[in-house]
Every structure is written in C-alpha cells, then in structure tokens.
Amino acid sequence: MREFLSLLSIWILPVIISFIIIYGVIKKVPCYETFVEGAKNGLFVSIKILPYLVAIIVSVSMFRASGAIELLSEKLFGILAHIKVPAETLPLMLTRSLSGSATLGIFSDIVNSTGADSYAAKLSAVITGSSETTFYVLAVYFGAIGIKKIKYALIVGLLADLFGIFAAIFVCRYFFT
C-alpha cells in the first residue's frame, strides 16, 4: 500500500501535466503561447512573496540563532518529542491560519535549517501544502459582500485547520518513518 502510494506520488504530476496538454491540443488551444502567457505570472507571484520571505526568514533565523528554540524545546516541547513531532514545526502550526506568506517563509526556513530530506521538512511540507489561510479567506470573502456577523464560520475554519495538523502528523508518520 505504502509502496503503491509512493509510486502514485511520482506518477501523479506527469499524468496531470500530460492530460492537460493533450486536452489542450484536442481543444486546439495554442499550447505554447498560452503556457508563456501563464508562466509570466510565476515572476509576479514570486516577486510578490519576496518581501514576506525576507521578513519571516530573517526574523525566524535570528530567533533560532539566539538559541531561543533550544531553550524552548527543552522545556516546552517534551510532549511534541513524545509524539515524534520535530519542535521546529511548531511555529509553522501557529502561523498557518494567520498568514500564507509567513507559513511559506517558515517552511523554507525549516527546509534550509534541517535539510530538504529531513522528517521535519517533509512534515512541514505536508502541513504547508494542505493549508489555506483561514483568516485571509474569511476577510476577503466576507469582506467582499459586507458580512459582519460571521456566526460559526471562523470556528469551523479553525477546527478544520487543527484537524489538518493532526492528520498531517498522522499521515507523515505512516509515510516517512
């Protein structure tokens, strides 16, 4: 089962890409020109997140360099170690509902400090990849139509985030240990 799913992980991207291209050719879409048109946005998306990356990566690296994480992990994160959750991933779990760019920044900091093939990197990749910024979505969508009484929307969003974190921990233990 695990081997099959790992195989699927390798195949899914080439299959999706080929399918999109084949469908585009059938529908007579000018693939090359359309691709280039879309690819331009890659530049804007990346440049747009650069300031956020600088802010987050610098502040988190300073925090780590000061030895604060070691101080904290010794005292507070005994429980996390017990359920095999690397202490580095805790800041990620705390910001993922607040800011997507910050989460991406912390994620790349974890990848660079623990190595791209470490368990911490993989767990935080899954957490980052499966999250959407609850507060941002709430602000944009309800803001656009002037909703002030949000009822249970935020509670459900945060519960789903929390559920996602536990699911990520559980799934990663199955796949990567």
Partner 1 sequence: MNYIFAFLILSSVIIGAYTGRLQEVVNSIFTSSALAVQVAIGLIGIMGFWLGVVKIAEKSGLIFLFSKLISPFLRLIFNELPKNSSAFSNIALNISANALGLTNAATPFGINAMKDLKKESKENNDTATNSMCMFLAMNTAGFQLVPAAVLGILVVSGAKNPTEIIIPTFIVTLSAFIFAIFTSKIFAKFWKERAK
Q: Which is nearer to partner 1, 32 or 82 (CB)?
A: 32
Q: Is 120 in the site for partner 1 (CB under 8 A)?
A: no
Measure the N-to-C terminal CA separation of the chain; round to a whole number of Å: 15
The verdict on 43 binding partner 1 (CB under 8 A) reads yes
What b/e string do you get for 16-47 counting C-beta neighbours within 10 Å, with b at 16 or more?
A: eeeeeeeeeeeeeeeeeeeeeeeeeeeeeeee
List the one residue from 1, 79, 148, 177 that touches partner 1 (CB under 8 A).
148
What CA–CA distance (Å, rounded) separates 80 from 83? 5
Amino acid at 91: P
- Lookup: tokens for 82: 């017990």
Q: Could you say whether residue 79 binds partner 1 (CB under 8 A)?
A: no
Lookup: tokens for 142: 């309800």
Nearest approach in angstroms of CB 169 to partner 1 is 9
Query: Does 122 interact with partner 1 (rule: CB under 8 A)?
Result: yes
107 binds partner 1 (CB under 8 A): yes
Of 1, 79, 82, 152, the residue at the interface with partner 1 (CB under 8 A) is 152
Nearest approach, Cβ of 81 to partner 1 (angstroms)? 21
Determine, following the binding rule CB under 8 A, whether residue 61 of this chain makes contact with partner 1: yes
